[in-house]
Amino acid sequence: MNKDSVQGNLKQAKGAIKETFGKVTGNEKLQAEGMADKVAGKTQESYGDAKEAAKDAADKLRH
C-alpha cells in the first residue's frame, strides 16, 4: 500500500460517514458531499493501486 491508497481509503470512509449522517438528518447537501468524497476517495485509491502496480512491474523488469 502507498500513500494514495491509504488516503483514498480514509476519504471513502469519511464520505460514507458524511453520507449516512446526511441521510439520517435529512441534510441532502451533506449526503451529496459524502457521496462525492467516496467517489474522490475511490479514484485516489485506484490511482495509488495503479502506481503500485507500475512500480512492481518496473521492479520485475529490472530483475
Number of domains present in the structure of the chain: 1
| CA–CA distances in Å: residue 7 to residues 2, 29, 62 | 9, 23, 29
Q: List CB contacts of 23: < 8 A, sequence separation 6 or more.
A: 31
Residues of the chain above pLDDT 70, percent:
100
The pTM of the full predicted model, rounded to 2 decimals, is: 0.84
- Taking the CB of residue 23, how many other CB atoms lie within 10 A of it? 13
Residue 52's domain comprises 3-62
Question: What pLDDT shows up at residue 34?
Answer: 98
pLDDT digits (tens, 9 = 90+) for 15-44: 999 999 999 999 999 999 999 999 999 999
